Chains A and B, each alone.
Chain A
């Protein structure tokens, strides 16, 4: 089957006339495809917005942040087939970026009075803070991506981990700017569920457009067969860099949104726990497709919440169970291991939601 996919991807790459003849039709198709994929997210979001109590709204906001992170992760991992274990560094950079730029001055006097470069006396509005934070994320991503895109798969993964450790260590130790281990509070809470939904849809569509674009297709082809792709003149390094930066920007956006809804952030939020969670979501859903990313987030968010309620000690039939710290971690790990052993392509396999639907209808029509 792998060989079939290779030849299929290369055929698609090698036959530009069809793509050139109807670029607009292809664009419309993946645009609609992205919108169809984001439909379940919208439905869940609207239901929660209208009917759920506040506690669940808060949980849903967290899940939406995870959704954006996982989609961002998919942009790099799904297309280049290189495991990335450092993406939460970009989430952290985005969140701290807006925290430093947009926190009101009165708060800053309490939290980071000695910030360098005049940040202690600077306060920008949320939108321009977000833009500047994303530009910073983009710069860090471009520099790290330069290194990572040159390396082979395994070394690239290890360097992505090294990046995570570098960024985390800077958060912890540059106390004047990042407040170290303590929570950074007082960030304006300007994002609610509606904005979160808008950005989720935008990000899902963006990821889908990238996947279906020339670059996405070429990158997927080069991941499946480097030799064949190189023979067709595909510059895999440039494409890996491109998807790395896009992926980082999406993760950075997730960080910005997280900071703007939670109001308080701390470095440990953007460390291994986030990597574990989001990676398990992507793997369970299937990393080859954007649909997979969405599916994984929905399934695991619900599943994890259930497990967490057991973890904190529940009473079943009058018997009080003890606290079971670590249960959710075990569950996440088991999900990853079982998925890899029995269904490496995840729940959704290699078709997007709209492709599945259209196949289904076509079969029924026959």
Chain B
């Protein structure tokens, strides 16, 4: 019982983290059709700014958390301004490759300016403790991850449904031209979307630093690959799909960890991707994606 509960919590915590990152990708994609491969480097910028602040003498974990989120949001907006604005109206492939380029540049800048080796950051280690609930021992980090992700997603849903800017973002994902005709500035909508996406990445970065206790140049890259996969299973561009896809991915991974014998543990990632590709054979448009036939009118 204890074991099953522990694994359930594991799956939920992994899933929550993937959902956060996948949502960040989906927000940007749904509006401007950009497949943001540089999302992992937004996590990287956030983590490295915590590392630098700690190296310069920052000791308060709360400030570090705020810094991580703010740095990520700023980085996302800056990436948009510098790299993605020139290709805003270009085909999807152009944007995708640009983002890929940005990702390579930033990863290598970390190597060049700081170090190719992992650097230790202990400022957020306090978040990672064992909590005891009667007979159960759970990791505080996982519980927090679950709660914080839930609250963040709730806040995002409220923002998208209740505020004018949120409404504009949702409308822009359907028909950007009309949104602009209503007098809403394209730049503001896109910058907000990137800021949201960055803030979500920043929250994920906090948990990553707390869990690993170190930062390295490729810190966010593999996580973002998984988040992309989550987006694809959920249906690319659908926010609910991204969140659901992230959760599903968490459950598949933990399920495989439990099911696979120890010596085959290394195949976990490979098998996860195989399962997902197999899912896509049956639903190429993703679980919550809509099948759009050629020539269908946008509704």
Q: Which residues of A contact B (CB under 8 A)?
A: 81-83, 85, 144, 146-147, 150-155, 157-159, 161-163, 165-166, 169-170, 172-173, 226-227, 230, 276, 279-280, 283, 324-330, 332-337, 340-342, 344
Decide if B270 touches A85 in the complex (CB within 8 Å): no
Contacts A81-B93, A324-B112, A329-B107 given; does A336 touch B98 at CB 8 Å: yes
6 interchain pairs, CB-CB under 8 A: A162-B225, A165-B225, A172-B266, A333-B101, A333-B103, A344-B87
CB distance from B226 to the nearest CB of A (A): 9
Secondary structure at chain A's binding surface: helix, strand, loop or mixed? Answer: helix
Chain A residues whose CB sits within 8 angstroms of the CB of B116 once the complex forms: 325-326
Which B residues lie within 8 Å of A151 (CB)?
280, 284
Interface residues of B in 206-241 (CB under 8 A from A): 217, 225, 228-229, 231-232, 236
B147 within 8 A of A: no
Distance A159 CA – B236 CA, assembled complex (angstroms): 12
With a cutoff of 8 Å between Cβ atoms, the chain A residues found around residue B273 in the complex are 162-163, 165-166
Min CB gap B107→A, angstroms: 7
For the residues of B in contact with A, the DSSP-based class is helix
Instruction: Write the nearest CB–CB distance from A10 to chain B, whole angstroms.
Output: 15
Q: Is the CB of A326 within 8 A of B111?
A: yes
Inter-chain contacts of A82 with B (CB < 8 A): 93
Q: In the complex, which residues of chain B have a beta carbon less than 8 angstroms from the beta carbon of A334?
A: 101, 105
Assembled-state Cα–Cα distance A161/B35 (Å): 13
Please tell me if the beta carbons of B236 and A161 are within 8 angstroms of each other in the complex: no
Task: State the CA gap A150–B281 with chains docked (Å).
Answer: 8
Interface presence of B138 (CB below 8 A): no
Give every chain A residue within 8 A of B231 (Cβ-Cβ).
Answer: 158
Contact between chains at B270 and A340 (CB < 8 Å): no
Residue ID in chain A nearest B107 by CB atoms: A329
Q: How far is the CA of A326 from the CA of B112 in the complex (A)?
A: 5
* Interface of chain B residues 258 through 299 with chain A (CB within 8 A): 264, 266-267, 269-270, 273-274, 276-277, 280-281, 284-286, 294-295
Q: B94-117: which residues lie under 8 A (CB-CB) from chain A?
A: 94-98, 100-112, 116
Count of A-B contacts with CB under 8 A? 143
Of the residues A154, A333, A335, contact of B236 by C-beta under 8 Å: A154
Most chain B Cβ neighbours within 10 Å, of A170, A276, A334, A340: A340
Q: Is the CB of B98 within 8 A of A341?
A: yes
In the bound complex, CA of A151 to CA of B280 (Å): 8
Report the minimum CB–CB distance from B246 to chain A (whole Å): 14
Q: Which residues from A are CB-within-8-Å of B111?
A: 325-326, 329
CB distance from A164 to the nearest CB of B (A): 9
Which listed residue (B98, B104, B285) contacts A340, Cβ 8 A?
Answer: B98
B86 CB–A CB distance under 8 Å: yes
Q: Please report the C-alpha to C-alpha distance between residue A136 and residue B208 in the assembled complex, in whole angstroms.
A: 39
In the complex, the answer to whether B108 meets A326 with C-beta atoms within 8 Å is yes
Alpha-carbon distance A144/B276, docked complex (angstroms): 13
**Docked complex Cα distance between A22 and B58 (Å):** 76
Measuring CB to CB, which residues of chain B are less than 8 angstroms from any residue of chain A?
29, 35, 83, 86-87, 90-98, 100-112, 116, 217, 225, 228-229, 231-232, 236, 264, 266-267, 269-270, 273-274, 276-277, 280-281, 284-286, 294-295
Chain B residues, CB < 8 A from A342: 86
Contact A170 B94 (CB under 8 A): no
What are the nearest 10 A-B pairs in CB distance? A336-B101, A329-B108, A326-B111, A333-B105, A333-B104, A173-B266, A326-B112, A326-B108, A341-B86, A169-B270
| B276 contacts across to A, CB distance below 8 A | 162
The residues of A that contact B228 with a CB separation of less than 8 Å are 158, 161
How far, in whole Å, are A75 and B14 apart by their CA atoms in the complex? 38
Between A154, A165, A173, the greatest number of chain B beta carbons within 10 A of the residue's beta carbon is seen for A154
Q: Tell me how far the C-beta of A304 lies from the nearest C-beta in chain B, rounded to whole angstroms.
A: 13
Q: Are A230 and B294 in contact (CB under 8 A)?
A: yes
Q: Judging by beta carbons under 8 Å apart, are A279 and B105 in contact? A: no
CB of A333 within 8 A of CB of B94, answer no
Contact A337 B101 (CB under 8 A): yes
Shortest beta-carbon distance, A331 to chain B, in Å?
9
Residues of B within 8 A of A150 (CB): 280-281, 284
| Chain A residues whose CB sits within 8 angstroms of the CB of B274 once the complex forms | 166
Q: State the CA gap A279–B102 with chains docked (Å).
A: 13
Q: For B269, what are the chain A residues with a Cβ–Cβ distance below 8 Å?
A: 165-166, 169
B14 to chain A, nearest CB (A): 17
Given A165-B269, A329-B111, 10 further pairs, Cβ under 8 A: A82-B93, A85-B100, A166-B270, A283-B97, A326-B107, A326-B111, A332-B101, A333-B105, A336-B101, A337-B102
Q: Are the CB atoms of B267 and A173 closer together than 8 Å?
A: yes
In the assembled complex, which residues on chain A have CB atoms less than 8 Å from the CB atom of B264? Answer: 173
Q: How far is the CB of A311 from chain B (nearest CB, A)?
A: 9
Cβ-defined contact, A327 with B108, below 8 A:
yes
Q: Which residues of A contact B285 (CB under 8 A)?
A: 152
In the complex, are the beta carbons of B101 and A226 less than 8 A apart?
Answer: no
Chain A residues whose C-beta falls within 8 Å of the C-beta of B229 in the assembled complex: 158, 162
Chain B hits for A172, CB < 8 A: 266
Name the CB-closest residue of B to A168. B270
Min CB gap B84→A, angstroms: 9
CB-CB under 8 A from A81, the residues of chain B are 91, 93
Q: Which one of B110, B229, B270, B286 has the greatest number of beta carbons of chain A within 10 Å?
A: B270
Whole-angstrom distance between the Cβ of A78 and the nearest chain B Cβ: 11
CB distance from B283 to the nearest CB of A (A): 10
